[in-house]
Amino acid sequence: MISVYHYMGVAGILFAMGTYGVLTRRNAIVIFMCVELMLNSVNLTFISLSAHLQNMDGQIFVFFIMAVAAAEAAVGLALMITFYRNRASIDVDDMNMLKW
């Protein structure tokens, strides 16, 4: 029997994987994909808890998160394209103009 704990566990593992990816990867697009993974683990958490609690709020929240993630993707990819045009790279190690 799959309980809410299983879903929460999967979501927690996904979140940890996303966090690990953001911290270790060097390619901006892969980092962004890892951020999306984190957001999707949050969606999974919300939906499983919503089903468990018999409460609709969590599912509505998920719709907002998906809409916002789409808007964020549009802006983020545009920023990456402008950076790529000027530096011909999207490696975060090449973002080295601003340093102390």
Give residues in contact with other proteins (CB under 8 A): 8, 15, 18-19, 22, 28, 31-32, 35, 38-39, 41-42, 45-46, 49, 52-53, 55, 57-58, 60-61, 64-65, 68, 71-72, 75-76, 78-80, 82-83, 85-87, 92, 95, 97-100
Q: Which is nearer to other proteins, 1 or 11 (CB)?
A: 11
Are the C-beta atoms of 29 and 80 separated by less than 8 Å?
yes
For 63-87, letters b (16+ CB in 10 Å) and e give: eeeeeebeeeeeebeeeeeeeeeee
